Structure 1
Amino acid sequence: MDLFGQTPDWATYLSPILTKYKNRKHPLAYENLYQLVVMVILSAQDSDANINAVAPALFEIYPDMERLSVTNREALLPNISTVRNFGTKANWLIEIAQIIEKNENIPLTMNALTALKGIGRKSANVIMRETNQPAEGIIADLHVIRVAPRIGLISETKDGNKVEKQLMQVLPKSIWGEIGMAISFLGREICRPKPKCDLCPINNFCAYYANEN
């Protein structure tokens, strides 16, 4: 039930943030699909800002999958040593590059992406959204995990896969492709851990705002 005791029309309630953030590029400063895949893998449990700082020098040395596929762990590690879990991620990147071999072989479906080491559903959803593929799920990053329950969209959980599943159950598929990043951008800019509720374009439909006012 929503604030008025009715079944929520979330597509309508969330339309202001869909409009505000629609088609905004992901904060990872990638320039092509290869860079996007590498940066998404590196960004797991790390900040986009840190990965953006590491990326330019990394891509000078490894400009494509072909170059990455013929490197080894010892050569790659110094270039990503400031990234969280860099050792494991180095193994993932090299294995993926050896499987894919060339940039043009990078897959763009949920099943094919998640079959690769280091790419879960969240990462696959980001890659598919950024490349304008038909949505097969909803991005559930740490901002979405915090904000979606606060709004009242779903019950609270720290498990991103559970968050995505709940969102897919309550939101129409027509908005899956954009709503995850829209909620994420809201979380980055307005619905912070200490939220700026007065600036929020959907505060009229937010459970947290209703409880606080």
Structure 2
Amino acid sequence: MVVVAGLYARLSFPDLVVDGVAVAPDSVIATYLVTRFSWYVGVVVFLGLIAAGMSTLEGLIQSMSITVTNDLVGNVHDWVTGRPLPERTMFIMNRFVIAGLAVVSFGLAYRQLVAPNLSVALFAQWGVYAYFAAAFVPVLFGTFLKNTPLIAVAGAAVTAVIVHFGLYYTGQHYFPYFMDVAVKNPGLSAAIGIQAALVVGGMLHLMFSGRKPVAG
């Protein structure tokens, strides 16, 4: 809903100009609602968009909390100690992780308001691509390979994050597609991070495939 509404609003202002005034990328939806609808209809539509956005954010926070507690902490504890964490402990830990993610989300949102980083879309892509790059190889190995060692998926995930952020923040000095550009596309750094993660994960899988599996 949010994507379709944003696309339609963006097509309504092809030059990002309304009455001779430039419209910021983050203000397209708000400008569209104000200029195309009466105030009461605009309020209803705006509340619907907020509800859809909050629902998506809630799903992301819950999925990330499960990833941290079950896939990361739970598997590492099982690998180190040889026994799983109690369900009650996992439940409590999950709630603390959700609370922590909520605080982090609020802080990032506030920072984006007081010191905007180009646009909300690019700011969101920066983190979402990092999350996707980190999860790509573990999910791929868990789906198609058996007896995947922990060090392979962990090394791949860490490699993807390091390459993604490292290239994004330093690529303007040596990466052709980040040099002399106003906006850097985080999808490029994430794609290269995934490729590096595939190489590292594949090598570690071949080296440690006889160890204790965590996926597959």
Higher relative contact order (CA 8 A, sep 6+): 1
User: What is the TM-score when the length of structure 1 is the normalising length?
Assistant: 0.28
User: What is the TM-score when the length of structure 2 is the normalising length?
Assistant: 0.28
- Pick the structure with more strand per residue: 2
- Pick the structure with more helix per residue: 2
